[in-house]
Amino acid sequence: MPAMKRLIMLLMSTVMMSMSLTAADIVTVHGEFTYYGSKTESRADCERNALNGARAKALAEKFGTVVTQDTYQRDVVSAQGESTYFSMLNESALKGEWIADEKEPVYTYELDSDGLYIVTCKVTGKAREIDNLAVDFATSVLRNGTRTVNADTRFRSGDDMYLYLKSPVDGYVAAFLVDAHNNVYSLLPYQGNTKGEIKVKHNKDYVFFDPASANPDHGEVDQLVMTADDELEHNMLYVVFSPQPFAKAVDNYAGENMPRMLSHDEFSKWLVKCRKYDPRMAVKIMNIEIQK
């Protein structure tokens, strides 16, 4: 066999093996969690906490945690038992990360003797073990102002929203808003961005959706005003960052003065596919509350 042919075959074999190993990092996980609400929590609050608990439990059972033994013992003897234990877990305590929902979360509801909500959530999703390769970037939601002191996730209908971002390395960013009805809106890149990407420089402060902070390379700035149809709505903002360029999610026209939109299923598939082959891609999720 000629040397060149052997070299090509070896390279192809190495690439295929690398792709196989990377794709195998993402697995399907299942979790179930019951959240006991308080007097100050609405049904939507309990749903969100039950969802977070179910995801945390699924990750903990599959990949484990780094919770200390003392913390574990204190939680076991508490009145709410397992509920308290898993509600205390945060991202830094889990050895795995949630990539995307594979199925819609399933909720069941009860009321206790005091009329307080008891919400059980079952989840099935894609996850992977944390490997510390993802870039740790800084980002926060800003309300009615473009300074970091304006960081807030609680809005009233009519408030302006901005997004702060800073990364330790050069890279690319995208942002998506998931509303209360599981519609996904593509916020970044801007609608007028013909490149389909937002490139950022390392150690530089960026404020998106603010015309005064506009970068000509990012296209015409879209300004965001938060609105709510119900008295209280909960949205989720996904901020995606990678040192490598990544293909933009395919979205559709959603109406005049509205961000482009895609289904939650399409968004989840896009995110899973991107993260399969880009271990340095990082995603930060922020819960946003909007009062009418």
Q: For 74-95, what is each residue's pLDDT tens digit? A: 233 334 444 443 444 444 467 8
Q: Token match 């946003």: residue?
A: 288
- What are the tokens at 9? 């075959």
Q: The pTM is what?
A: 0.69
In a domain, 212, yes or no: yes
Q: Evaluate if residue 15 carries a pLDDT over 90.
A: no
Range of the domain at 170: 138-291
pLDDT > 90 fraction of the chain, expressed in percent and rounded = 53
Residue 7 lies in a domain: no
Residue 195 counted as domain residue: yes
> What average pLDDT does the segment 165-172 reach?
97
Confidence of residue 20 (pLDDT cuts 50, 70, 90): very low
- Mean pLDDT for 217-240 is 92
What's the rounded mean pLDDT across residues 229-240? 91
Q: Which of 110, 129, 148 is the last residue of a domain?
A: 129
* 163 shares a domain with 284: yes
Helix, strand, coil percentages (3-state) for the chain, rounded to 5, are 30, 35, 40
Residue at 2 is within a domain: no
User: Beta-strand (E) ranges in 137-214?
Assistant: 138-143, 154-156, 160-166, 171-178, 184-188, 198-200, 206-208
* pLDDT tens profile 262-286: 998 899 889 988 888 888 999 998 9
pLDDT at res. 166: 97
54 lies in the same domain as 170: no
Task: Tell me if 176 sits within 8 A of 248, measured CB to CB.
Answer: no
Same domain (yes/no): 169, 256: yes
Q: Is 21 a domain residue?
A: no
Does the pLDDT at position 21 exceed 50? Answer: no
Choose the final residue of a domain: 92, 108, 129: 129
Same domain, 199 and 167: yes
The confidence score (pLDDT) of residue 93 equals 64
Give the three-class secondary structure for 292.
Answer: coil
State whether 118 and 38 are in the same domain.
yes
261, containing H or E segment: strand 260-262
Beta bridge partners of 236: 178, 287
Long-range CB pairs of 211-214 (<8 Å, 24+ gap) are 212/146, 213/146
For the residues 229-242, what does the mean pLDDT come to?
Answer: 92
Task: Give residue 208's pLDDT band: very low, low, confident or very high (50, 70, 90).
Answer: very high
pLDDT score of 66: 59
Interval 238-260: pLDDT, tens: 999 999 999 888 898 888 888 99
Determine the average pLDDT of the residues in 30-50: 92
Evaluate whether residue 22 is within a structural domain.
no
Q: Is the peptide bond before 189 cis (omega within 30 degrees of 0)?
A: yes
| Residue 80: closest CA among 39, 34, 122 | 34
DSSP 35-74: EE--TT--HHHHHHHHHHHHHHHHHHHHH-B---HHHHHH
Q: Are residue 243 and residue 272 in the same domain, yes or no? A: yes
pLDDT band at 124 (very low <50, low <70, confident <90, very high): very high
Assess whether 253 and 152 both reside in one domain.
yes
What is the pLDDT at residue 14?
A: 40
Q: What's the CA gap between 160 and 144, in Å, rounded?
A: 5
Please count the structural domains in the chain.
2
d(CA 194, CA 131): 34
Angle made by CA atoms 181, 186, 191, in degrees to the nearest 5: 140
Phi, psi of 46 (to 5 degrees): -65, -40
Indicate whether 152 and 124 sit together in one domain: no
Which one-letter DSSP state was computed for residue 59? H
Nearest to 139 by CA among 292, 290, 288, 289: 288
Do 172 and 78 sit in the same domain of this protein? no
Average pLDDT, the chain: 82
| Beta carbons of 123 and 54 less than 8 angstroms apart | yes
Q: Please tell me whether residues 40 and 100 are part of one structural domain.
A: yes
Residue written as token pair 């945060």? 90
Report the half-sphere exposure of 117 (CA within 13 A, side-chain side).
21
Q: Averaged over 125-140, what is the pLDDT?
A: 88
Last residue of a domain, one of 129, 146, 165: 129
Is the domain of 121 the same as that of 142? no
Residue 245 belongs to a domain with what CATH number? 2.60.40.2550
Residue 78 lies inside a defined structural domain of this protein: yes
Same domain, 188 and 263: yes
Residue 210 carries which DSSP code?
Answer: -
For residue 1, tell me if it sits in a domain: no
